[in-house]
């Protein structure tokens, strides 16, 4: 049976020949996919980088940061949080605390991400001296589940993690996500100009010229955003009256692990636009949970409550929308939390 017979004269093939052809094709394609994923290694599993690729592209930021972090030595300082921590420059933290810093912020992080990243650092023997966590108000809402990308990430998901998962190289390299990552990695390294989401220290921000900002227009957008109820993490669950006891327990585990491994822990509330904060405080449920949220975090030695902080709230240009702050403001945040707590 030659190639011509298989492709062009398939009508004359017997059922047995079709079955053999099918399994041969599947086997060849599977081997090719595995070899492609092994050589490109989008997850940095082999740590060999056979092609000397500068950038590796994976579909979600958790997988991307974990894969990249595997290639790095441990850092003195680690920042954890959601995209609200993205904008904080790790180099500024190094200026204030000394040593090296990595920004391990991931999109829409919940408390499970915070604990999962800390446990991952401990397993990888990359325990930092200082751990700085920006905590979003929504993360203690019992109605908000862990992020789906967290649940899919075997390195971070301590809820289902087992030691056997750590060595499943073949499973990972046969996955469709690995194939997509390999194709995109090749495309952006060889055929298309690519600007990575994060720099080598995990930062995804940039400084800006505040004189170009229109405060009136910004405030109109914020009000429209709130009125349209686009802030699902804040308003869809307006019955959020009490903080989640399970997430409190997770934070007690974070506290215990930091004490066990000699990690200095710094916590701060990620700032909310004053108009959003005012709206949340008008609702009796969210007002109560906000109070519980701040009260619980105040039990930690190094906790900074940034809600209503004058250095931040006196200039609305520090905010991007209702829930994010600028990189300029990120520098201010670090100076506040490291030069004196504000409870």
For the ranges 98-102, 167-171, 190-194, 240-244, the lowest mean pLDDT is seen at 167-171
Give CA–CA dist 31/71, Å, rounded: 26
pLDDT in the model for residue 74: 92
H or E element in which residue 324 lies: strand 324-325
Collapsed DSSP state (helix, strand, coil) of residue 19: helix
Confidence check: pLDDT of 253 > 80: yes
Confidence check: pLDDT of 120 > 90: yes
Confidence check: pLDDT of 343 > 50: no
Paired strand residues for 134: 268
User: How do residues 269-318 score in pLDDT, each as one tens digit?
Assistant: 999 989 889 888 988 999 999 999 999 999 999 999 999 899 999 898 99
Averaged pLDDT, 182-195: 72
pLDDT in the model for residue 160: 74
Confidence check: pLDDT of 230 > 50: yes
Question: Who wins on pLDDT, 152 or 80?
Answer: 80
Give CA–CA dist 245/174, Å, rounded: 39
Token pair of 187, please?
């495309």
Residues above pLDDT 90, as percent of the chain: 45
Q: Evaluate whether 208 touches 328 at the Cβ level (below 8 Å).
A: yes
Averaging pLDDT over each range in 21-25, 214-218, 289-293, which range is the top one?
289-293
Q: Evaluate whether 105 touches 82 at the Cβ level (below 8 Å).
A: yes
pLDDT in the model for residue 166: 47
pLDDT class for 119, splitting at 50, 70, 90?
very high
pLDDT in the model for residue 265: 98
Residues above pLDDT 70, as percent of the chain: 83
- For the chain, what is the mean pLDDT? 84
pLDDT class for 164, splitting at 50, 70, 90?
very low
Averaged pLDDT, 246-257: 98
Q: How big is the CA angle at 277 (ends 274 and 278), to the nearest 5 degrees?
A: 85
Confidence check: pLDDT of 139 > 80: yes
CB atoms within 10 A of CB 25: 11
Confidence check: pLDDT of 190 > 60: yes
Confidence check: pLDDT of 252 > 60: yes
Q: What angle do the packed helices 274-282 and 284-297 form, to 10 degrees?
A: 110
Give CA–CA dist 179/41, Å, rounded: 10
pLDDT class for 165, splitting at 50, 70, 90?
very low
């Amino acid at each position: 049976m030659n190639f011509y017979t298989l492709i062009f004269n398939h009508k004359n093939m017997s059922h047995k020949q079709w079955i053999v052809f099918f399994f041969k094709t599947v086997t060849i394609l599977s081997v090719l996919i595995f070899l492609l994923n092994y050589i490109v290694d989008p997850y940095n599993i082999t740590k060999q980088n056979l092609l000397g690729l500068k950038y590796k592209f994976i579909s979600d930021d958790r997988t991307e940061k974990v894969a990249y972090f595997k290639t790095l030595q441990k850092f003195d300082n680690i920042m954890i949080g959601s995209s609200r921590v993205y904008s904080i420059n790790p180099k500024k933290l190094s200026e204030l605390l000394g040593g090296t810093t990595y920004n391990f912020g991931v999109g829409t992080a919940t408390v499970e991400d915070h604990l999962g990243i800390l446990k991952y650092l401990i397993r990888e023997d990359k325990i930092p001296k200082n751990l700085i966590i920006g905590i979003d108000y929504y993360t203690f809402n019992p109605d908000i589940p862990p992020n789906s990308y967290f649940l899919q990430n075997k390195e971070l998901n301590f809820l289902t993690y087992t030691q056997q998962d750590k060595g499943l190289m073949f499973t990972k390299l046969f996955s469709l996500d690995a194939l997509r990552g390999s194709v995109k990695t090749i495309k952006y390294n060889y055929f298309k100009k690519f600007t990575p989401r994060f720099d080598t220290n995990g930062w995804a921000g940039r400084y800006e010229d505040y004189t170009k900002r229109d405060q009136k227009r910004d405030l109109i957008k914020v009000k429209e955003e709130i009125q349209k109820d686009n802030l699902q993490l804040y308003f869809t669950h307006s019955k959020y009256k009490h903080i989640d006891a399970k997430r409190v327990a997770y934070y007690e585990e974070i506290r215990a692990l930091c004490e066990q491994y000699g990690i200095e822990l710094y916590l701060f509330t990620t700032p909310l636009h004053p108009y959003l904060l005012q709206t949340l405080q008008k609702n009796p449920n969210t007002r109560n949970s906000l109070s519980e949220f701040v009260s619980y975090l105040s039990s930690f030695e190094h906790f900074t409550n940034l809600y209503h902080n004058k250095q931040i709230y006196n200039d609305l240009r520090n905010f991007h929308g209702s829930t994010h702050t600028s990189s300029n403001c990120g520098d201010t945040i670090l100076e506040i939390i490291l030069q004196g707590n504000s409870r």
